[in-house]
């Protein structure tokens, strides 16, 4: 069962739905078999070598703490395929963009890992105007791979344009690795593409036996 994200009036969360990946969807498994994610038809996939010169979204330090990326894949639903699509600010994006990552948690950072850090390392929305958590709940893949799932909305620094992001972020049992996936775009775009954004994020699986 997957939570269905429904935007009513401004934005709200409700209902439940089940679904199966379309026959022509694309499944990506990272080279170390740590995670997989499925993309619906019409979405573009960008592997790590294509993203080397791109400033990708959903990867941020938290209060000066860095979490180096060891594996990453990006994706979007732009009209034309190009890795630079991921550089469009979320508040301006009229198509969904997303990233799934595996990030290293060092010994120092391990002492500070929390639900706050797991979300801020993906979407640092708390420092932006009009930020709101429309959904925030504990999330688990089992076997100690636990974290948080959230649906957040915020505006740009001048409080004008709205963005919406849906994310899941977890750590391994030893808190040495952070796994995350997120997708989003501008408010109007999210309203239009919410079903596909939810489908992508909820398709993400972490290999708990790696």
pLDDT tens digits along 12-71: 332 223 334 455 789 999 999 999 999 999 999 999 999 999 999 999 999 999 999 999
Q: Tell which residue, 178, 183, 156, 169, has the closest CA to residue 66.
A: 178
Stated length of the chain: 210
- Quote the tokens at residue 128: 């932006």
CB 155 within 8 A of CB 161: yes
- Give the integer Cα–Cα distance in Å for 48 and 3: 29
- Give the integer Cα–Cα distance in Å for 149 and 182: 10
- Give the integer Cα–Cα distance in Å for 59 and 180: 9
- What does pTM read for this prediction? 0.90
- Give the integer Cα–Cα distance in Å for 86 and 181: 14
- Give the integer Cα–Cα distance in Å for 45 and 69: 18
User: What are the phi and psi torsion angles at 124 (to 5°)?
Assistant: -80, 65
- Give the integer Cα–Cα distance in Å for 65 and 69: 13
| Contact partners, residue 175, CB within 8 Å, separation at least 6 | 105, 110, 113
pLDDT at 6: 39
User: Which ranges of the chain have pLDDT less than 70?
Assistant: 1-23
Distance of CA 178 to the CA centre of its chain: 12
Q: Look-up: residue for tokens 């969904």?
A: 96
Residue 24: is it exposed, middle or buried by C-beta count within 10 angstroms (0-12/13-18/19+)?
exposed
DSSP E strand stretches across 30-176: 35-39, 44-47, 69-76, 97-104, 132-142, 145-155, 162-171
């Amino acid at each position: 069962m997957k939570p269905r994200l429904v935007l009513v009036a401004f934005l709200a969360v409700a209902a439940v739905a089940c679904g199966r990946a379309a026959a022509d969807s694309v499944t990506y498994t990272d080279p170390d078999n740590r995670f997989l994610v499925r993309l619906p038809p019409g979405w573009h996939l960008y592997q790590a070598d294509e993203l080397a010169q791109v400033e990708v979204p959903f990867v941020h330090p938290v209060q000066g703490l860095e979490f180096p990326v060891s594996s990453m894949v990006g994706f979007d639903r732009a009209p034309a395929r190009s890795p630079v699509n991921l550089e469009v600010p979320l508040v301006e994006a009229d198509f969904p963009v997303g990233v799934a990552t595996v990030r290293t948690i060092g010994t120092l950072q391990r002492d500070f890992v929390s639900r706050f850090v797991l979300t801020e390392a993906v979407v640092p929305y708390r420092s932006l105007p009009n930020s709101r958590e429309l959904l925030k709940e504990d999330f688990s893949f089992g076997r100690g791979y636990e974290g948080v799932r959230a649906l957040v909305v915020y505006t740009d620094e001048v409080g004008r344009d709205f963005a919406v992001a849906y994310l899941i972020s977890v750590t391994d049992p030893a808190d040495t690795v952070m796994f995350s996936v997120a997708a989003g775009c501008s408010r109007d775009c999210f309203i239009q593409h919410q079903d596909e954004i939810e489908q992508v994020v909820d398709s993400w699986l972490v290999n708990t036996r790696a």
